[in-house]
């Protein structure tokens, strides 16, 4: 089993390699030379820093040498220097990454809980009012832009009802220990995570419903009933256990989109993650940071994809034995 894990993780390497090369190509599409880009058009003024950058990126050397040096730099986790924060790109990103991870985890949890439950209910009560309501809801949340949902939710729940804060991750000046802090973050997390997650909840609801309906017709469900199991147990232990498999696959495929979605949600809710960082960097033409987010974002997605693949293998014994 461990060999499979390692093999799957190793597959990430060529992918990231390709992203790095792509980065290099993109840099060359930008006006100015590689050096201009990496120094944010000479906004880096520290001469020692400039010198180091010249050495790292092989200024005035042929392109393929520059490419090799660039790849080597990124592999060493040197993503350049950001003038705006006056710190290495990698460091800034790592500081803001946890906030995005928390947001994505919360959004995925909401999406799975709401979506899977809705899909199961719709399939068990197929063609009734519940099914129609859920299907309608799914279509609605699938079509509504998540940032717009975020704004509307802010208007209703934060501005009008005052149940939740309008934005940010923490209330300033409320540092009363780890537990209180965690609760505070969760309180701030509700609206953005829900706004981000509902789109995926809609997808999962639709897929789960279809998957459940398909599994209902399979022979082993009849066997389970013939054993005298209660309908609840048949649905949970037998039908859902099989119907969830396509959802897991879907989960993997959606991660790249969700990371992109979090960029907009973070902008709407002033959530201090890499999405906000990216937005700020695009506005201030801070290209090293933008590219750094691209590389690390891709790495994050690749790792999550690999994890989901391995999880799927764990859950479906049929594809394990190779």
Partner 1 sequence: MATDRVSEPTPVLAIDKLEVSLFTRRGVLPAVDGLSLTVAAGETVAIVGESGCGKSLAALAVMRLLPEPPARIVGGAVRFLGRDLAALSDREMQRVRGKDISMIFQDPMTSLNPVVTVGDQLIEAIRRHTAVSRREAGDRAVELLRQVRIPDAERRLDDYPHQMSGGMSQRVMIAMAIACGPQLLIADEPTTALDVTVQAQILGLLKELQTESGMGLIIITHDLGVVAETADRVVVMYAGRKVEEARVGALFERPLHPYTRGLLGATPSAVRRRGGRLVEIAGSVPALSDLPVGCAFQNRCPDVFDRCRAARPALASLLPQQSVACFAVEEEVSRHAAAVGT
Partner 2 sequence: MLALAADFIRRFARNRAALVGFVLVIVVIGIALSAPWLFPRNPLRIVGRPEIWPFTTSRFPLGTDSLGRDIAAMIAYGARTTLLIGLCASLTATIIGISVGATAAFFGGWVDELLMRLTELFQTIPNLIFVLTIVSILGQKIEYVTIAVGIVTWTPIARLTRAEFMSLRDREFVQACRSMGMGNLRIMFGEILPNALPPVIVLSSLVIAGAVLFESAVSFLGLGDPNISSWGRLIGDGRTLIRSSWYICAVPGVAIMLTVLALNLVGDGLNDALNPKLRDR
H helices within 77-218, ranges in order? Answer: 89-124, 129-143, 146-153, 178-216
Residue 140 interacting partner from partner 1, partner 2, none (CB closer than 5 to 8 Å by kind) = partner 2
Does residue 220 contact residue 238 with C-beta atoms inside 8 Å?
yes
Binding mask 192-221 for partner 1 (x = CB under 8 A): --------------------------xxx-
SS3 44: coil
129 binds, among partner 2, partner 1, none (CB under 5 to 8 A by kind): none
Q: What's the CA gap between 135 and 69, in Å, rounded?
A: 53
Q: Measured between alpha carbons, how far is residue 318 from residues 11, 242, 267, 312, 314 in Å?
A: 22, 12, 43, 10, 10
Q: By CB under 8 A, tell whether 318 contacts partner 1.
A: yes
Output the six-digit token pair for 94.
Answer: 């790592």
Start-to-end Cα distance in the chain: 10
> Does residue 224 bind partner 1 (CB under 8 A)?
yes
The entry of partner 1, partner 2, none that residue 6 binds, CB within 5 to 8 Å by partner kind: none
Decide which of partner 2, partner 1, none touches 315; Cβ closer than 5 to 8 Å per partner kind.
partner 1
Closest CB to partner 1 among residues 75, 218: 218
Per-residue tokens: 197: 């997650």
Q: How far apart are CA 153 and CA 157, in angstroms?
A: 6
**Two tokens, residue 195:** 């706004």
Nearest approach in angstroms of CB 245 to partner 1 is: 8
Q: Which does 175 bind (CB under 5 to 8 A by kind): partner 1, partner 2, none?
A: none
* Binding partner selected for residue 222 from partner 1, partner 2, none, CB under the kind-specific 5 to 8 Å limit: partner 1
- Which residues of the shown chain bind partner 2 in the complex (CB under 8 A)? 14-15, 18-19, 22, 26-27, 29-30, 139-140, 142-145, 147-148, 151-152, 154-155, 159, 253, 256-257, 259-261, 263-264, 267-268, 278-279, 281-283, 285, 287, 290-291, 293-294, 297-298, 301-302, 305
Does 161 help bind partner 1 (rule: CB under 8 A)? no
60 binds partner 1 (CB under 8 A): no
Q: Which does 293 bind (CB under 5 to 8 A by kind): partner 1, partner 2, none?
A: partner 2
Instruction: Evaluate whether 265 touches 195 at the Cβ level (below 8 Å).
Output: yes
310: contact with partner 1 by CB under 8 A: no
Tell me which of 75, 156, 237, 311 binds partner 1, using CB under 8 A. 237
DSSP 255-305: HHHHHHHHHHHHHHHT--SHHHHHHHHHHTT-HHHHHHHHHHHHHHHHHHH
Shortest Å distance, C-beta 33 to partner 2:
14
User: Rounded distance, CA 219 to CA 298, Å?
Assistant: 42
**Closest CB to partner 2 among 120 and 202?**
202
From residue 314, how far is each of 3, 16, 51, 271, 311 by CA, in Å? 14, 25, 50, 34, 5
What residues make contact with partner 1 under the rule CB under 8 A?
A: 218-220, 222-231, 237-238, 241-242, 245, 315-318, 321
């Amino acid at each position: 089993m461990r060999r499979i894990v390692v093999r799957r993780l190793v597959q990430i390497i060529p992918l990231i390699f390709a992203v790095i090369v792509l980065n290099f190509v993109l840099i060359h599409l930008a006006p100015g030379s590689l050096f201009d880009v990496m120094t944010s058009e000479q906004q880096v003024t520290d001469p020692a820093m400039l010198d180091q950058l010249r050495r790292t990126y092989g200024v005035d050397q042929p392109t393929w040498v520059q490419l090799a040096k660039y790849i080597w730099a990124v592999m060493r986790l040197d993503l350049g220097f950001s003038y705006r924060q006056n710190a290495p790109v990698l460091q800034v990103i790592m500081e803001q990454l946890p906030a995005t991870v928390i947001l994505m985890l919360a959004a995925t949890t909401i999406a799975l809980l709401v979506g899977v439950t809705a899909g199961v209910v719709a399939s068990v009560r197929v063609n009734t009012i519940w099914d129609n309501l859920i299907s309608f809801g799914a279509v609605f949340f699938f079509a509504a832009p998540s940032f717009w949902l975020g704004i509307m939710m802010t208007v209703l729940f934060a501005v009008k009802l005052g149940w939740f804060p309008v934005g940010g991750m923490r209330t300033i000046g409320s540092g009363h220990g780890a537990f209180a802090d965690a609760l505070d973050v969760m309180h701030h997390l509700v609206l953005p995570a829900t706004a981000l997650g509902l789109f995926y909840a809609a997808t999962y609801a639709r897929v789960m419903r279809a998957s459940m309906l398909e599994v209902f017709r399979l022979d082993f469900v009849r066997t389970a009933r013939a054993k005298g199991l209660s309908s609840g147990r048949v649905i949970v232990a037998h039908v859902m256990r099989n119907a969830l498999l396509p959802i897991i696959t879907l989960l993997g495929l959606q991660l790249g989109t969700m990371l992109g979605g979090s960029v907009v949600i973070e902008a709407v809710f002033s959530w201090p993650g890499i999405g906000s960082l990216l937005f700020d960097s695009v506005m201030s033409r801070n290209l090293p940071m933008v590219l750094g987010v691209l590389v690390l974002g891709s790495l994050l997605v690749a790792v999550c994809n690999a994890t989901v693949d391995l999880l799927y293998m764990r859950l479906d014994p049929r594809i394990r034995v190779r």
